């Protein structure tokens, strides 16, 4: 171990039934270094970090971990924390009903003889919040914070444990642009204080902006570690996917046709607060085109989709017509029957049943298609259909019997997409469909979108990634504070013009 190496993981091998998730992986991180860990969905990034943080205790993997020149064998997360490792998972893990202060000191309360010193805890929390640039009351409940602020509270929690190695597993997937910038500034500040950071992200521009060095994993193996400045984006992608990727946005052959769906004067009130959430939205969706919906977090994009799909909102006024016919959608079943499918952004909550296998998840919304007389499911058809999507979307799983919860994040997203593709909708609505998806799989998904559009399906794409909107859509509608603030043809849209409309300026 060289002098300024804080962490060395050597020959780490980890197997799950039927899957070799890590195959003799090595990783070295220097003191005060920001080290990016990149690779395709299912490459093994999260698994490697769970080994490092004791989620997978010693004995459940092979190989050697050294921190500060000392061999480490963690039996629990607690032990890895004591050695200075703090992990922020791909899925947030705060207790929503408790306050910031309670969350930060959960499991490490300041106490003497069993009595918690809340005054000291409050003071300490205030100080830590200041350090991460959060102007919040320590007594705020987590449930009242946006995802971005929750992320920063997680970091505050890690700091309170005096972490030497901070692991961030896809921290920015759900953050706004401002929150992402704040997070990056904090990571840089921690670096100056000598904290090392292992940063996992599919957003390569962030990786290039932040990381000192990059390690690439592919199929559970270490491919290389390089200084960031010695790599181009193109070279990095080639290391990740094992081939050159020429065009991320394959241009389909589009001929926008007649209007298939009309949304007229759609207004919706918030289910909880009762305030007006969507104001007088009118939209036309055409055959053979991809309509983009852009806007900042909180602009009402997801609310619009969920209200159209019959799962959100109250006192709804306005109407939806599909091929001239007025629809009354009260629940997702009505929507699916009418030919509208929605791929939600929150796959854990709405998209997947984690305790069910891949096969059942894929066929779940299309059981009529594979049932005899609408009652008994034809097992052969079910297997055939799910195998078809597993191969078409290149879902990485040992078999269709694998539980969805055991797949890597990006592969779970592909299962959700398969489920909705199988319903063969007339209108397919995609809410952030490539969040957490690696670059190779992204380009596969774009190709699938193109071929659907060529077959006459209408696609609505909601995305926070402007290059994706510009690369894939024919028209972009921009939302701001629950209204449509403008519409642009992508031929003359730019990121600046979209941002201008999105901020309402």
**Where on the chain is the footprint of Mg ion (CB under 5 A)?**
46, 409
Interface region with ligand ATP, contact rule CB under 6 A, candidates 119-127, 134-142, 409-417, 421-429:
409-417
User: In the complex, what is the shortest distance from the CB of residue 169 to Mg ion, in angstroms, rounded to a whole number?
Assistant: 6
Those residues with Cβ within 8 angstroms of residue 491's Cβ, 6 or more apart along the chain or in another chain: none
Told to check if 409 binds ligand ATP by CB under 6 A, we report yes
Told to check if 16 binds ligand ATP by CB under 6 A, we report yes
Q: Give the nearer residue to ligand ATP in terms of CB position, either 197 or 294.
A: 197
Q: Give the nearer residue to ligand ATP in terms of CB position, either 39 or 295.
A: 39
Contact with ligand ATP (CB under 6 A) among 149, 164, 396, 475 = 396
Interface region with ligand ATP, contact rule CB under 6 A, candidates 44-52, 104-112, 283-291, 367-375:
44-52
Told to check if 41 binds ligand ATP by CB under 6 A, we report yes
Instruction: Determine the 3-state secondary structure of 38 from DSSP.
Output: strand
Given a contact cutoff of 8 angstroms between Cβ atoms, the answer to whether 440 and 241 are in contact is: yes
Given a contact cutoff of 8 angstroms between Cβ atoms, the answer to whether 276 and 479 are in contact is: no
Told to check if 191 binds ligand ATP by CB under 6 A, we report no
Cα separations in angstroms, 350 against 10, 42, 162, 260, 409: 39, 22, 36, 26, 15
Restricting to residues 88-117, name those near ligand ATP by CB under 6 A.
90
Q: Give the nearer residue to ligand ATP in terms of CB position, either 396 or 475.
A: 396
Contact with ligand ATP (CB under 6 A) among 27, 39, 195, 343 = 39
Q: Give the nearer residue to Mg ion in terms of CB position, either 431 or 438.
A: 438
Told to check if 42 binds ligand ATP by CB under 6 A, we report yes
Interface region with ligand ATP, contact rule CB under 6 A, candidates 39-47, 203-211, 223-231, 241-249:
39-47
Told to check if 21 binds ligand ATP by CB under 6 A, we report yes
Instruction: Determine the 3-state secondary structure of 486 from DSSP.
Output: strand
User: In the complex, what is the shortest distance from the CB of residue 449 to ligand ATP, in angstroms, rounded to a whole number?
Assistant: 20
Q: Give the nearer residue to ligand ATP in terms of CB position, either 437 or 459.
A: 437
With CB cut-offs between 5 and 8 Å by kind, which of ligand ATP, Mg ion, none does residue 19 bind? Answer: ligand ATP
Q: CA 425, 430, 433: angle at the middle one, nearest 5?
A: 130
Instruction: Determine the 3-state secondary structure of 437 from DSSP.
Output: coil
Interface region with ligand ATP, contact rule CB under 6 A, candidates 5-13, 308-316, 403-411, 479-487:
403-411
User: In the complex, what is the shortest distance from the CB of residue 36 to ligand ATP, in angstroms, rounded to a whole number?
Assistant: 13
User: In the complex, what is the shortest distance from the CB of residue 90 to Mg ion, in angstroms, rounded to a whole number?
Assistant: 5
**487 vs 476: CA distance, rounded Å:** 6
Q: How many residues does the chain have?
A: 505
Q: How many CB atoms lie within 10 A of CB 219?
A: 16
Told to check if 361 binds ligand ATP by CB under 6 A, we report no
User: In the complex, what is the shortest distance from the CB of residue 422 to Mg ion, in angstroms, rounded to a whole number?
Assistant: 25
Q: Which two tokens stand for residue 378?
A: 């034809």
User: In the complex, what is the shortest distance from the CB of residue 27 to ligand ATP, in angstroms, rounded to a whole number?
Assistant: 13
**211 vs 208: CA distance, rounded Å:** 6
Q: Which two tokens stand for residue 332?
A: 């997702």
Cα separations in angstroms, 147 against 142, 171, 308, 493: 9, 10, 24, 29
Restricting to residues 410-439, name those near ligand ATP by CB under 6 A.
410-411, 438
**88 vs 108: CA distance, rounded Å:** 17
Q: What share of the chain is helix, strand, coil (3-state, %, to 5)?
A: 35, 30, 35
**98 vs 310: CA distance, rounded Å:** 31
Residue that has been written with the tokens 């701001």 in this structure? 480
Contact with ligand ATP (CB under 6 A) among 66, 406, 440, 465 = 406
User: In the complex, what is the shortest distance from the CB of residue 178 to Mg ion, in angstroms, rounded to a whole number?
Assistant: 25
User: In the complex, what is the shortest distance from the CB of residue 180 to ligand ATP, in angstroms, rounded to a whole number?
Assistant: 18
Sheet order of strands, 5-16 included: 19-30, 5-16, 62-67, 70-72
Told to check if 138 binds ligand ATP by CB under 6 A, we report no
Told to check if 27 binds ligand ATP by CB under 6 A, we report no
Contact with ligand ATP (CB under 6 A) among 44, 148, 288, 433 = 44
The distance in angstroms from the start CA to the end CA of the chain is: 54
Cα separations in angstroms, 295 against 364, 374, 496: 31, 41, 12
Rama region for 220: left / alpha / beta (φ>0; ψ in -120 to 50; rest): left
Residues that bind ligand ATP (CB under 6 A): 16, 19, 21, 39, 41-47, 90, 396, 406-411, 438
């Amino acid at each position: 171990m060289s002098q300024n190496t804080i962490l060395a993981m050597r020959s780490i091998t980890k197997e799950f039934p039927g899957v070799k998730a890590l195959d003799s992986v090595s990783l070295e991180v220097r003191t005060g270094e920001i080290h990016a860990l990149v690779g395709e969905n299912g490459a093994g990034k999260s698994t490697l970090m769970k080994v490092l943080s004791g989620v997978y205790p010693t004995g459940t993997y092979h190989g050697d971990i050294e921190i500060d020149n000392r061999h480490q064998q963690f039996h629990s997360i607690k032990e890895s924390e004591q050695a200075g490792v703090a992990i922020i998972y791909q899925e947030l893990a705060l207790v929503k009903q408790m306050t910031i202060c309670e969350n930060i000191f959960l499991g490490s309360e300041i106490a003497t003889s069993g009595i918690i010193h809340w005054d000291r805890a409050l003071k300490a929390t205030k100080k830590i919040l200041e350090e991460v640039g959060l102007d919040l009351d320590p007594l705020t409940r987590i449930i009242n914070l946006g995802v971005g602020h929750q992320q920063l509270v997680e970091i505050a929690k890690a700091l309170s444990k005096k972490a030497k190695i901070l692991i961030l597993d896809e921290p920015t997937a759900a953050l706004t642009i401002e929150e992402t910038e704040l997070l990056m500034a904090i990571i840089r500040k921690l670096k100056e204080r000598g904290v090392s950071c292992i940063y996992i992200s599919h957003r390569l521009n962030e990786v290039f902006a932040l990381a000192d060095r990059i390690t690439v994993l592919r199929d559970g193996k270490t491919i290389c570690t390089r200084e960031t400045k010695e790599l181009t984006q193109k070279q990095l992608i080639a290391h990740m996917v094992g081939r050159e990727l020429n065009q991320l946005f394959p241009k389909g052959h589009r001929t926008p046709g007649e209007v298939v769906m009309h949304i007229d004067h759609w207004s919706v009130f918030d289910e909880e607060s009762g305030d007006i959430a969507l104001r007088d939205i009118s939209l036309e969706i055409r055959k053979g085109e991809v309509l983009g919906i852009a806007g900042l977090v909180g602009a009402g994009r997801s609310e619009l989709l969920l209200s159209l799909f019959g799962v959100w909102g109250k006192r709804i006024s306005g109407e939806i017509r599909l091929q001239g016919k007025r629809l009354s959608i009260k629940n997702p079943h009505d929507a699916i029957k009418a030919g509208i499918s929605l791929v939600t952004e929150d796959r854990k909550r709405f998209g997947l049943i984690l305790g069910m296998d891949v096969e059942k998840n894929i066929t779940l919304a299309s059981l009529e298609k594979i049932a005899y007389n609408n009652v008994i499911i034809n097992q052969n058809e079910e297997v055939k259909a799910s195998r078809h999507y597993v191969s078409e979307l290149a879902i990485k799983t040992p078999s269709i019997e694998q539980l969805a919860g055991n797949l890597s994040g990006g592969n779970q997203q592909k299962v959700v997409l398969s489920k909705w593709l199988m319903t063969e909708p007339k209108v397919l609505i995609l809410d952030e469909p490539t969040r957490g998806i690696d670059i190779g799989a992204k380009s596969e998904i774009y190709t699938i979108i193109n071929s659907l559009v060529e077959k006459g399906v209408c696609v609505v794409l909601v995305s926070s990634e402007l290059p994706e909107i510009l690369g894939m859509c024919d028209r972009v509608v921009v939302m701001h504070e629950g209204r449509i603030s403008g519409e642009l043809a992508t031929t003359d849209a730019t990121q600046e013009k979209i941002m201008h409309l999105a901020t309402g300026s």
